[in-house]
């Protein structure tokens, strides 16, 4: 069951795309990192789901306050600039909880989904492992 | 009439070795293990839930709810913690215990490790003491552990080690490009190095295959069963005698003991298909081998009218002197062109030059290169600290550095203190209604001094090799126990200053023994499993004599 409404899921995807962007190798979206985050929010991290929802909506408000459009409607460069401001502790919109804590959580989740084993729902087709030249070599799990 | 000659509580390294010794001497043993006998296929290869990185859970138990502990931090704040959290100080709870998923380093302690107080004096506030036995007492049992379980090692010995009667039964695992680079760097400093001894089949032995050099090693069960642990050596030997009854999912609740101090058996809870069943086994002797936290807890849980503070707690030492290893070291980026194979185990080179004789500090540590890393493990701790934490720059840094990361680290010999301890929590109970372990205290400040010295040596090693970047982090005061937990039933000749006698027999209880890291007066600057095994072989041999 999807613990996030569609609007929040789309903001999440736009965020993950900036945390682990695609270049000549797959990024978070191609690797299914959104699936990993959704699964965690429905499982181990279900207690954080309200905070994550609140953070995603605050991120959307952050984009609107700057560009008059939501986070999914602005350019990659504009999204990256917002995240850099949040990391530096300079949000412009009203955040109920710490914007930096939210970003730190999402950075960790993005990395876990991208670099951990595919059994966790991310790292589809071992995208990150192929990029790094890592192979567990234990046969198929 | 007893049901068994012996009940052994805990089927890890110590309990497994003890069961083998007793059964092969012809005695009937009940081996209790609170965890499951997990086949490798049931120990998940989950990169977020293993014994190296347990972000959301473990792969080897304790599983399910109802196994909390209470942790008291340095400011005195108590919190209920779950098994996968760092403050729980878990060790794998399954058949084989920590040896199921360990990193396999199989060091003998140095002769000086048994004489820390004589060598260094006793720092204020510490309970540093000599062992009541010395290296020569343990040497034959170290040799048994090396040959009966199977240890790989180099032909050249650690130049600071005590004398050994024989070499290693197995040759080293293949060296890595990284270890070649580190060897050249050490030689440029004039440092002696040694191949770390490992409990792994580098060649087929005892009916099991050789290590394949896979890249999911430490924290995981071996995919071809080449790690030599209790579960595939001493425990099968005990079972093969037909004299060992293994009970898994069986949590000991108390060692039963009469008013004169004679123990009569063990009361335990076994989880079955029909729910939890209370059982009691009568035995002529009992051996506690549940690890330094749970063995202390069990002896405390065994309090009765005649022994109101627990068994072996006549002098108030039970549960105190809890210690582990404070890890320190340095990270770096290898120069381009050194080469990466990703082959596990990954620990290929060490120096023991700084275990002792370091100016101005007490003791020291071995330094060795780190095990092969998973990508998420490297993302969390292997990237240079100035690396951006997200975006293309982070992704490019992973590409640039994953195959060039190097990490030198070592287990600092801790200076024990009595305030670092295991007690019973007054409020929180486990799924069987038993009070849980309450952990409190911190390492002694002197340990931080030693760690700082060792950190400097690790930095020096990487710099000498010409690493592209070198960085390191300091340590802080906190509780140390974890997978190397030790010290809570310290052995000693004087009952007033110890829990067991020099054989591991609990003072005041002629038929109660301890056979795990709880016995360690000090924990060496080395991974402790070979010492745990050696002490268990020795204690169980002594216990067997009492059964004749």
Once rounded to an integer, what is the mean pLDDT over residues A25-45? 97
Once rounded to an integer, what is the mean pLDDT over residues B30-35? 98
> Residue B256 in contact with residue B243, Cβ under 8 Å?
no
Q: Determine the 3-state secondary structure of B268 from DSSP.
A: strand
A9 contacts chain B (CB < 8 A): no
Contact B215 A27 (CB under 8 A): no
Structure tokens at B508: 């005041």
Strands B275-288 and B4-9: parallel
Residue B353 has pLDDT above 80, yes or no: yes
Q: Given B45, B392, B398, which is nearest A117 (Cβ)?
A: B45
Contact A19 B390 (CB under 8 A): yes
* Calpha distance B221→B106 (Å, rounded): 17
Residue B473 vs residues A132, B89, B142, B185: alpha-carbon distances, Å: 26, 21, 34, 21
- The pLDDT assigned to A127 comes to 98
H or E segment and range at residue B369: strand B367-369
Burial of A139 (0-12, 13-18, 19+ CB in 10 A): exposed
> Residue A95 in contact with residue A57, Cβ under 8 Å?
no
User: pLDDT class for B160, splitting at 50, 70, 90?
Assistant: confident
* Calpha distance B105→B345 (Å, rounded): 10
User: pLDDT class for A2, splitting at 50, 70, 90?
Assistant: low
Percent of chain B with pLDDT over 90: 97
Q: Is the peptide bond before B455 cis (omega within 30 degrees of 0)?
A: no
130-189 in chain B: CB under 8 A from chain A: none
Burial of B64 (0-12, 13-18, 19+ CB in 10 A): exposed
Once rounded to an integer, what is the mean pLDDT over residues B343-355? 97
Contact B214 A141 (CB under 8 A): no
Q: Minimal CA–CA distance to B93: which of B320, B300, B296, B248?
A: B248
Once rounded to an integer, what is the mean pLDDT over residues B247-260? 97
Q: Given B213, B376, B392, which is nearest A115 (Cβ)?
A: B376
* Confidence check on the interface: ipTM exceeds 0.95, yes or no: yes
User: pLDDT class for B249, splitting at 50, 70, 90?
Assistant: very high
Listed in sequence order, the residues at least 6 apart from B345 whose beta carbon sits closer than 8 Å to its beta carbon are B103, B104, B173, B198, B200, B211, B217, B218, B371, B372
A133 contacts chain B (CB < 8 A): yes
* Calpha distance B337→B31 (Å, rounded): 52
Once rounded to an integer, what is the mean pLDDT over residues B156-184? 93
**Chain segment B224-243, per-residue pLDDT in tens:** 999 999 999 999 999 999 99
B427 contacts chain A (CB < 8 A): no
- The pLDDT assigned to B454 comes to 98
Degrees (nearest 5) of the Cα angle B322, B43, A129?
Answer: 105
Listed in sequence order, the residues at least 6 apart from A90 whose beta carbon sits closer than 8 Å to its beta carbon are none
A 10 A CB-CB count for A5 gives: 10
Distance from CA of A97 to the nearest CA of B (A): 21
Residue B367's DSSP bridge partners are B351
Compute φ and ψ for B22, nearest 5 degrees: -70, -45
- The pLDDT assigned to B192 comes to 95
Distance from CA of B129 to the nearest CA of A (A): 44
> Residue B286 in contact with residue B504, Cβ under 8 Å?
no
Residue B140 vs residues A27, B18, B104, B113, B163: alpha-carbon distances, Å: 56, 16, 20, 17, 11
- The pLDDT assigned to A141 comes to 40
Contact residues on chain B for A135, CB-CB shorter than 8 A: 215, 342
Residue B470's DSSP bridge partners are B332
Contact B342 A134 (CB under 8 A): yes
Listed in sequence order, the residues at least 6 apart from B303 whose beta carbon sits closer than 8 Å to its beta carbon are B309, B310, B311, B313
A44 contacts chain B (CB < 8 A): yes
Listed in sequence order, the residues at least 6 apart from B16 whose beta carbon sits closer than 8 Å to its beta carbon are B31, B96, B97, B99, B230, B231, B233, B234, B235, B238, B536
Residue B182 has pLDDT above 80, yes or no: yes
Q: Minimal CA–CA distance to B99: which of B528, B535, B447, B434?
A: B528
* Calpha distance B22→B32 (Å, rounded): 14
A 10 A CB-CB count for B466 gives: 15
User: pLDDT class for B159, splitting at 50, 70, 90?
Assistant: confident
Residue B22 has pLDDT above 60, yes or no: yes
**Chain segment A50-94, per-residue pLDDT in tens:** 999 999 999 999 999 999 999 999 999 999 999 999 999 999 999
Residue B389 has pLDDT above 80, yes or no: yes
- The pLDDT assigned to B314 comes to 95
Contact B45 A129 (CB under 8 A): no
73-112 in chain A: CB under 8 A from chain B: 80, 83, 87, 107, 110-112
Compute φ and ψ for B362, nearest 5 degrees: -95, 120
- The pLDDT assigned to B158 comes to 77
Residue A1 has pLDDT above 60, yes or no: no
User: pLDDT class for B61, splitting at 50, 70, 90?
Assistant: confident
Contact residues on chain B for A107, CB-CB shorter than 8 A: 389-390
B212 contacts chain A (CB < 8 A): yes
* Calpha distance B381→A126 (Å, rounded): 21
Contact residues on chain A for B392, CB-CB shorter than 8 A: 21, 23
Q: Minimal CA–CA distance to B356: which of B139, B108, B110, B164?
A: B110
Residue A140 has pLDDT above 90, yes or no: no
DSSP B333: E
Q: Given B214, B391, B392, which is nearest A136 (Cβ)?
A: B214
* Calpha distance B228→B233 (Å, rounded): 7
Contact A115 B214 (CB under 8 A): no
Structure tokens at B219: 């924290």
- The pLDDT assigned to B63 comes to 78
Listed in sequence order, the residues at least 6 apart from B56 whose beta carbon sits closer than 8 Å to its beta carbon are A40, A44, A45, B48, B49, B84
User: pLDDT class for B1, splitting at 50, 70, 90?
Assistant: low
A 10 A CB-CB count for B437 gives: 27
The chain-wide mean pLDDT, for chain B, equals: 97
DSSP B290: S
Once rounded to an integer, what is the mean pLDDT over residues B411-427? 98
User: pLDDT class for B414, splitting at 50, 70, 90?
Assistant: very high
> Residue B536 in contact with residue B289, Cβ under 8 Å?
yes
Once rounded to an integer, what is the mean pLDDT over residues B372-400? 98
- The pLDDT assigned to B251 comes to 98
Structure tokens at B245: 């009854």
Once rounded to an integer, what is the mean pLDDT over residues B248-270? 97
Once rounded to an integer, what is the mean pLDDT over residues B499-521? 98
């Amino acid at each position: 069951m999807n613990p996030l409404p569609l609007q929040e899921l789309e903001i999440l995807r736009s965020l993950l795309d900036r945390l682990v962007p695609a270049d000549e190798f797959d990024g978070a979206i191609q690797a299914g990192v959104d699936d990993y985050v959704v699964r965690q929010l429905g499982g181990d991290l279900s207690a954080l789901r309200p905070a994550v929802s609140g953070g995603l909506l605050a991120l959307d408000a952050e984009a609107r306050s700057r560009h008059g459009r939501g986070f999914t409607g602005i350019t990659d460069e504009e999204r990256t600039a917002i995240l850099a401001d949040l990391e530096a502790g300079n949000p412009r919109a009203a955040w109920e909880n710490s914007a930096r804590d939210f970003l730190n959580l999402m950075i960790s989740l993005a990395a876990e989904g991208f670099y951990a084993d595919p059994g966790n729902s991310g790292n589809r087709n071992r995208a990150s492992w192929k990029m790094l030249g890592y192979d567990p070599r234990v046969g198929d799990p | 009439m007893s049901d068994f000659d012996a009940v052994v509580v805990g089927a890890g390294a110590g309990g497994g070795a003890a069961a083998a010794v007793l059964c092969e001497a012809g005695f009937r043993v009940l081996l209790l293990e609170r965890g499951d006998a997990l086949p490798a296929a049931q120990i998940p290869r989950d990169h977020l839930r293993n014994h190296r990185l347990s972000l959301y859970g473990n792969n080897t138990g304790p599983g399910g709810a109802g196994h909390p502990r209470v942790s008291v931090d340095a400011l005195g704040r108590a919190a209920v913690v779950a098994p996968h959290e760092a403050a729980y100080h878990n060790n794998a709870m399954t058949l084989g215990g920590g040896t199921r998923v360990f990193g396999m380093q199989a060091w003998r302690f140095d002769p000086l490790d048994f004489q820390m107080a004589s060598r260094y004096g006793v720092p204020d506030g510490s309970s540093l003491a000599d062992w009541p036995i010395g290296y020569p007492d343990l040497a034959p049992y170290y040799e048994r552990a090396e040959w009966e379980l199977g240890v790989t090692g180099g032909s050249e010995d650690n130049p600071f080690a005590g004398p050994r009667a024989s070499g290693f039964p197995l040759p080293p695992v293949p060296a890595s490009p990284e270890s070649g680079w580190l060897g050249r760097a050490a030689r440029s400093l004039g440092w002696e190095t040694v191949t770390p001894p490992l409990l792994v089949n580098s060649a087929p032995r005892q009916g099991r295959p050789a290590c394949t050099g896979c890249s999911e090693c430490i924290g995981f069960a071996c995919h071809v069963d080449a790690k030599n642990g209790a579960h595939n050596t001493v425990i099968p030997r005990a079972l093969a005698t037909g004299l060992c009854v293994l009970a898994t999912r069986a949590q000991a609740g108390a060692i039963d003991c009469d008013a004169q101090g004679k123990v009569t058996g063990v009361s335990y809870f076994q989880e079955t298909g029909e729910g939890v069943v209370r059982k009691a086994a009568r035995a002529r002797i009992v051996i506690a081998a549940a690890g330094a936290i749970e063995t202390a807890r069990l002896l405390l849980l065994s309090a009765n009218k005649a022994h109101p503070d627990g068994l072996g707690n006549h002098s108030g030492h039970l549960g105190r002197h809890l210690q582990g290893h404070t890890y320190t070291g340095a990270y770096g980026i290898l120069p381009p062109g050194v080469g990466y194979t990703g082959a596990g185990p990954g620990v290929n080179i060490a120096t023991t030059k700084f275990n002792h004789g370091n100016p101005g500090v007490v003791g020291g540590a071995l330094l060795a290169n780190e095990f092969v890393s998973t990508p998420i493990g490297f993302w969390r701790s292997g990237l240079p600290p100035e690396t951006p934490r997200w975006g293309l720059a982070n992704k490019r840094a992973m590409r640039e550095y994953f195959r060039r990361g190097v990490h030198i680290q070592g287990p600092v010999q801790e200076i024990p203190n009595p305030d670092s301890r295991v007690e019973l929590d007054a409020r929180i109970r486990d799924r069987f209604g038993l009070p849980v372990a309450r952990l409190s205290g911190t390492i002694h400040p002197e340990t931080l001094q030693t760690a700082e010295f060792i950190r400097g040596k690790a930095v020096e090693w990487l710099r000498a090799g010409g690493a592209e970047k070198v960085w390191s982090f300091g340590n802080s005061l906190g509780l140390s126990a974890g997978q190397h937990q030790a010290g809570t039933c310290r052995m000693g000749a004087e009952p007033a200053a110890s829990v067991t006698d020099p054989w591991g027999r609990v003072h005041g209880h002629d038929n109660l023994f301890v056979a795990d890291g709880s016995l360690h007066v000090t924990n060496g600057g080395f991974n402790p499993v070979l010492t745990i095994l050696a002490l268990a072989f020795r204690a169980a041999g002594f216990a067997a004599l009492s059964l004749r």
